[in-house]
Amino acid sequence: MHLPYLSLITFLPIVGMIIVLALPKEQGKTMKITTLLITGIQVVLAVFLLSNYNYSLGGIYDQASFQFVEKFRWIDIENFSWIGRIKVDYFLGIDGISTPLVLLTAIVTFIATLSSWNINKSLKGYFALFLLLDTGMMGVFVSLDFFLFYIFWELMLLPMYFLIGIWGGPRREYAAIKFFLYTLLGSIFILIVMIGLYFSTTEPMADGTKAFTFNLLAMMDPNNATATGILSALNPANLRFAAYIALFAGFAIKIPMFPFHTWLPDAHVEAPTPISVILAGVLLKMGTYGILRVSFPIFPEITKQLVWYIALFGMINIIYGAFCAMAQRDFKKLIAYSSVSHMGYVLLGMAALNTMGISGAILQMFNHGTITAMLFLIVGVIYDRAHTREIDGFGGLAVQMPVYTGFVTVAFFAAIGLPGLSGFISEAFVFLGAFGVRLIRVVTIVSTLGIVLGAGYMLWTLQRVYLGKLNEKWSGLKDLNFREYAMFIPLSAIVIFLGVYPSAMLDLMNTSVNSMVQFMQNIQVYYSSINVF
């Protein structure tokens, strides 16, 4: 029996939160250091998990091949005669799909903590909420019980609302409530489907009886479907299609997928830098992660039917986001829309449903997490100094801040998928995977426009802000300080390392992705055999 590493990594921030809350108000510095320590330990734990990770185990649908599993009965109410037995498991585990994201969360949170150093308003509240948010994010990626997953999923909303709403920009109230309402709307759809699935899945108990379950893995196994469950394929009048749409919409809002994306620019623009970093770096991934972890394996037959639409929305995201980004005058809004565009690649890759596509999608999640974190930090650095984000107000900053501009160049080129940096390989994999599927080939070809559009808006921005003649107004700006180095160097290192040696990440997820693809294929055969299509 190993230590409960996953619980540790998930609930460590809660401990930190309690410490922060217990500290007296004046001890701002201590709070910062506490948070930094906690998130630092998280990174160490994540690396530890990574180093003890067994690359040959697949996970996905098979509990035996999940790793660091912690499972025990959390809620168990027996003899609930009319429903049977209500039980919820505390079930954590990671596989190749979640491990990269756990790592990402740890890293991005750590970096965000560093970038929180400039916050000086009600530190106590800030760091307490920050750490709570951390727990929520980590929890989503490690939980394998739908109920638990949902609790963590919702747990993030409130801290996020306050973090945007209290420490944000001028229109923060509006942005915060918009974020909150939008994402809550998304999650209620998830809730409904969750309950529907609960009633459609039974799991054999130790005593031989069968009980309804929230276990995600059990839901994936069609043998566990009940005969009359509302979302059971065996029930001729099932609502699986509608449920899939609802579930997908719930996750799509988080991604955010066109046309549910309008919360994102507002939230990003108003959020303080570290929160933007987390929002873009981690939160957006939850949507796509949810689709991969929940929608796809539980509804493989409907996924198959809707692949074209998923890819289409991916394409719209890529191109629409890029166009919108190009039209922005606000630096941060531009980056926000670039996230919309980049998340489109993830959707496209997932729609491919083959190894390369899904690997590319997961890799793109990770890479986008690091790259976009850098981009928001870049905006943050400039905003800290100049207190404006109007792109046209800048110019020639490269002369004034050469090192900073160096990192900017790395981040920007990574964002437009330059080979040698991490963004390239994930985009390439997405395209290679998606192009291999006949159905979505045309969509893929149109999507490649994103490559050039991305280069367009990124380089245009680079030029307007950093190149050209230095605006005299900014001749007093200082280059990066030590703390900012500490934020940029690790991220750049990851970006470059994964650009050169993507196998580090791909090997990690490969077995899982393969088993997922295999699983989806097998199960589609199963579903077609019971003639539900």
Angstrom CA distances, 90 to 99, 214, 286, 507, stand at 18, 10, 20, 29
Q: Which stretch binds another protein (CB under 8 A): 31-39, 100-108, 282-290, 503-511?
A: 503-511
The H or E element containing residue 475 is none
Q: Is residue 489 involved in binding another protein (CB under 8 A)?
A: no
User: What residues between 245 and 274 interact with another protein by CB under 8 A?
Assistant: 259, 262-263
Instruction: Give the three-state DSSP class for 120.
Output: coil
Task: In whole angstroms, give the CA distance from residue 464 to residue 443.
Answer: 32
Among 3, 227, 236, 469, binds another protein (CB under 8 A): 469
Alpha carbons 392 and 412: distance in angstroms, whole number: 18
Is residue 205 close enough to count as binding another protein by CB under 8 A? no
Q: Which helix (H) or strand (E) holds 153?
A: helix 146-155
Q: Which of 215, 354, 364, 370 binds another protein (CB under 8 A)?
A: 354
Work out whether the CA dihedral 300, 306, 312, 316 comes out positive or negative. Answer: negative
DSSP 203: E
Nearer to another protein, 35 or 355 (CB): 355
Q: Contact between 451 and another protein (CB under 8 A)?
A: yes
Which two three-digit tokens encode residue 74? 């959390």
Task: Give the interface segment with another protein, choosing from 38-46, 93-101, 377-385, 445-453 (CB under 8 A).
Answer: 445-453
Assigned token pair, 49: 């998990």
Taking CB under 8 A as the rule, does residue 353 contact another protein?
A: yes
Instruction: Report 122-151 residues binding another protein (CB under 8 A).
Output: 122, 125, 150-151
Region near another protein per CB under 8 A, out of 74-82, 304-312, 380-388, 487-495: 74-82
CB of 327 to another protein, least distance (A): 3
482 binds another protein (CB under 8 A): no
Nearest of 276, 301, 340 to residue 222 by alpha carbon: 301
Question: From the list 11, 53, 74, 308, which residue makes contact with another protein (rule: CB under 8 A)?
Answer: 74
Taking CB under 8 A as the binding criterion, the range among 275-283, 302-310, 453-461, 524-532 that sits at the site for another protein is 453-461
Closer of 117 and 199 to another protein (Cβ): 199
309 near another protein, rule: CB under 8 A: no
Q: What angle do CA 140, 361, 67 make, to 5 degrees?
A: 45
d(CA 95, CA 511): 9
Residues 20-49 that bind another protein (CB under 8 A): none
**Segment lying near another protein (by CB under 8 A), choices 44-52, 63-71, 167-175, 483-491:** 167-175
Q: Which residues contact 307 (CB under 8 A, 6 or more apart)?
A: 351, 353, 437, 439, 440
- Which residues within the stretch 382-401 sit at the binding site for another protein (CB under 8 A)? 396, 398-399
Give the nearer residue to another protein in terms of CB position, either 40 or 125. Answer: 125
What angle is formed at CA 373 by the lines to CA 367 and CA 375, rounded to 5 degrees?
105
Q: How far is the CB of 48 from another protein (least distance, A)?
A: 25
Please name the residue that has the structure tokens 């609790």.
151
User: What is the 8-class DSSP label of residue 470?
Assistant: P
- Residues 168 to 197: which contact another protein by CB under 8 A? 172-174, 176-178, 180-182, 184-185, 188-189, 191-192, 195-196
Choose between 98 and 238: whose C-beta lies nearer to another protein. 238
Half-sphere exposure at residue 153, Cβ-oriented, CA atoms within 13 angstroms: 28
